[in-house]
């Protein structure tokens, strides 16, 4: 029987060391690629948020944005050219006849999710859609909740929430066409007071 040839001890350890180095380099490359991909996500969100803000500023200046139908509203209507009535998507306009759309050829998305406009007690904000994972590892709709009590402006100052390298991942929506009193601020007491005033005037 032929005996299998064994590598000299020195050759064996050289092979192990080279294989280990290659493994470490591959691991570092994978980590670097993953980290860059996550950073690119937030960089793209910053870019999209700025573009959307500019578009809605233009719309508000000409059409006057009054309000939106829901607490959370998908931004999926900026490629609309013509519509009837005063509402496009979930957005209500004071002067729909001045609509100059389409404003974008495609509505921007991130991680296949539409951006959204959310209503809070401190105003309306353009934010990433639910399910989007930010560079800081936080997931919109799970770790970062946009309800009516959310202080989104404060979140944009916190890098563990909606701030990426000093840039906000959300922005307040301009709405000069909205009423001077936010609909959210109405309470049952104010409604009752209004009804009482009506009754007084009727008497």
The model's confidence at residue 34, banded by pLDDT at 50, 70 and 90, is low
Q: Please state, in angstroms and rounded to a whole number, the distance separating the CA atoms of residues 168 and 45.
A: 9
Record the pTM: 0.73
Given a cut of 70, whether residue 129 has pLDDT beyond it is: yes
* pLDDT, average across residues 119-131: 97
Element (H, E) at 58: helix 9-63
SS3 content of the chain, % helix, strand, coil (to 5): 40, 20, 45
> What residues have CB less than 8 Å from 106, skipping those under 6 apart?
79
Residue boundaries of the structural domains of the chain: 12-182
The model's confidence at residue 48, banded by pLDDT at 50, 70 and 90, is very high
DSSP per position, 73-97? EE---TT----SSSEETTEEES-GG
pLDDT tens column, 69-85:
999 999 999 999 999 99
Of the CA atoms within 13 Å of residue 52, those in its CB half-sphere come to 29
Structure tokens given for 11: 């050759």
């Amino acid at each position: 029987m032929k005996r299998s040839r064994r590598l000299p001890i020195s050759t064996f350890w050289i092979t192990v060391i080279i294989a280990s180095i290659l493994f470490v380099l591959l691991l570092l490359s994978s980590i670097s690629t993953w980290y860059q991909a996550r950073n690119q996500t937030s960089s793209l969100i910053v870019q999209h948020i700025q573009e959307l803000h500019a578009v809605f500023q233009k719309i508000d200046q000409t059409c006057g944005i009054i309000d939106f139908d829901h607490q959370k509203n998908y931004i999926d209507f900026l490629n609309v050219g013509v519509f009837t009535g005063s509402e496009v998507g979930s957005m209500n306009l004071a002067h729909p006849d001045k609509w100059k759309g389409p404003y974008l050829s495609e509505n921007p998305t991130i991680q296949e999710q539409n951006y959204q406009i959310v209503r809070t007690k401190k105003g309306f904000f353009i934010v990433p859609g639910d399910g989007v994972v930010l560079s800081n590892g936080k997931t919109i709709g799970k770790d970062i909740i946009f309800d009516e009590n959310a202080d989104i402006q404060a979140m944009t100052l916190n890098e563990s929430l909606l701030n990426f390298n000093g840039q906000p991942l959300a922005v307040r929506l301009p709405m000069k066409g909205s009423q001077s009193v936010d609909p959210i601020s109405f309470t049952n007491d104010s409604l009752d007071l209004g009804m009482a005033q009506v009754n007084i005037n009727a008497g």
